[in-house]
A and B are shown apart, each in its own frame.
Chain A
Amino acid sequence: MDFNAPHSMGTTIIGVTYNGGVVLGADSRTSTGVYVANRASDKITQLTDNVYVCRSGSAADSQVVSDYVRYFLHQHTIQLGQPATVKVAANLVRLLSYNNKNFLETGLIVGGWDKYEGGQIYGVPLGGTIVQQPFAIGGSGSSYLYGFFDQAWKGRMTKDE
């Protein structure tokens, strides 16, 4: 048992827009090689009152990126005098991911609501590309969901749907 194997999350994360905003979802397993290091992890992390991020890939990398973005967004909010927009939050995530692409191994889904554009979901995969999507899936578990979402997704759903 290699306890020194990197804590990778073996994750499924999902972010979906609907007619009132966004819904984010994630599983709770963090694995170190074959061992489940944490079976109750919280992979949905708050950045501001109105923006959250789903984390996948390296646990450490995604946590440190979230911490930095939360720190910058906090200052930005104070300076701006109003809640930060989802686009700004997502672009901060992108900035860190892109500029440190050689060191980081984390895919993130940023989701939130602001008064200008309403509910938005932004995917920031490995490499630091930013892509706004009506729904996003990520993590190693998402491979199984591509087919499902292609078939089942439709826009403007209710929260229950």
Chain B
Amino acid sequence: MGDPSAETQRTLYPYVTGSSVVALKYKDGILMAADTGGSYGSTLRYKSIERLKPIGKHSLLGASGEISDFQEILRYLDELILYDNMWDDGNSLGPKEVHNYLTRIMYNRRNKFNPLWNSLILGGVKKGQKYLGMVSMIGVNFEDNHVATGLGNHLARPILRDEWHENLTFEEGVQLLEKCMRVLLYRDRSAVNKIQISKITEEGATVFPPFSLKTYWEFSAFKNPTVGAEGSW
């Protein structure tokens, strides 16, 4: 009863976590965005963690949640892609297949009460077919034209539901993602103003260098803080 080695291992809580990832389908493929912060509880401990990674030739993976588990998932996928390449048969795993593999991993870990504490977004293009899917830490998975993890589901997706349409250009897609990331920056406590955007098209994946978003703070109450201060919040 008191022997810890006899008890099955289980992950109880995450330590270093990444915040939301947002992604959408556009004319040429998939666009994905995430900030580069790694929080340690409420402390923003790491400011340069890359949470968007290309997988094989056709896919992009974005993750929020425990970073060590994300790094482990990248190792699993590395092995998967390696074995796929070793067949040397001209075939390569597409985003649909990788998404399915990830779903199986996440669900099976959940069944053992030892989940990988991540929400994953898998997007890609193969033979002109665009694919965008999500897997949660309990193995829930689905596919859609636009997806988000964590708080992004509540803050970004309503914007996307309103403003997304088929055949967005690259510039329109980036603008839309920036709009979503700005809202997340304002309203998500664990967000940091260092954003990365990545795209994947038939030609391949590109992860762009990090940049900062412009934010608005010109409120009249800040310009004249003493005016109406008494009794105000």
B15-26 interface code vs A (CB 8 A; 1 in, 0 out): 110000000000
Which segment of A17-25, A73-81, A95-103 sits at the interface? A95-103
B129 contacts A by Cβ under 8 Å: no
**How big is the A interface, by class?**
10 to 19
A116 CA to B21 CA, complexed, in Å: 34
Question: Cβ of A131 and Cβ of B38 under 8 Å apart?
Answer: yes
A129-B12 in contact given A98-B72, A103-B4 (Cβ < 8 Å): no
In the assembled complex, which residues on chain B have CB atoms less than 8 Å from the CB atom of A131?
38, 46, 49, 67
In the assembled complex, which residues on chain B have CB atoms less than 8 Å from the CB atom of A102?
9-12
In the assembled complex, which residues on chain B have CB atoms less than 8 Å from the CB atom of A125?
15-16, 40, 45
B68 contacts A by Cβ under 8 Å: yes
A78 CA to B38 CA, complexed, in Å: 37
Question: Cβ of A128 and Cβ of B10 under 8 Å apart?
Answer: no
- A94-129 residues at the B interface, CB under 8 angstroms: 94, 97-98, 101-103, 123, 125-129
B71 contacts A by Cβ under 8 Å: yes
Q: Which residue of A lies closest to B4 (CB)?
A: A103
Question: Cβ of A129 and Cβ of B16 under 8 Å apart?
Answer: yes
Q: Which residue of B lies closest to A124 (CB)?
A: B68
A127 contact from B4, B9, B16, B43, Cβ within 8 A: B16
A131 CA to B39 CA, complexed, in Å: 13
A101-B4 in contact given A125-B16, A127-B16 (Cβ < 8 Å): no
B14 contacts A by Cβ under 8 Å: yes
Question: Cβ of B15 and Cβ of A126 under 8 Å apart?
Answer: yes
Q: Which residue of B lies closest to A97 (CB)?
A: B68
In the assembled complex, which residues on chain B have CB atoms less than 8 Å from the CB atom of A129?
15-16, 38, 66-68, 71
Nearest-Cβ distance from residue A125 to partner chain B, whole angstroms: 6
Nearest-Cβ distance from residue B119 to partner chain A, whole angstroms: 17
- B72-123 residues at the A interface, CB under 8 angstroms: 72
In the assembled complex, which residues on chain B have CB atoms less than 8 Å from the CB atom of A94?
68, 71
A130 contacts B by Cβ under 8 Å: yes
Q: Which residue of B lies closest to A142 (CB)?
A: B45
A126 CA to B68 CA, complexed, in Å: 9
A1 CA to B68 CA, complexed, in Å: 37
Nearest-Cβ distance from residue A33 to partner chain B, whole angstroms: 23
A32 CA to B40 CA, complexed, in Å: 24
Nearest-Cβ distance from residue A15 to partner chain B, whole angstroms: 14
Q: Which residue of A lies closest to B7 (CB)?
A: A102
Q: Which residue of A lies closest to B72 (CB)?
A: A98
In the assembled complex, which residues on chain A have CB atoms less than 8 Å from the CB atom of B4?
103
A-B complex: 8 closest residue pairs judged by Cβ atoms: A127-B15, A129-B68, A128-B68, A129-B67, A126-B15, A127-B68, A129-B16, A98-B68
Given A101-B11, A129-B38, 7 new contacts (CB under 8 A): A94-B68, A102-B11, A123-B46, A130-B68, A130-B71, A133-B48, A143-B43
What would be 11 A-B contacts, judged by CB atoms less than 8 Å apart?
A94-B71, A97-B68, A101-B11, A101-B15, A102-B12, A103-B4, A125-B15, A125-B16, A127-B68, A131-B46, A131-B67
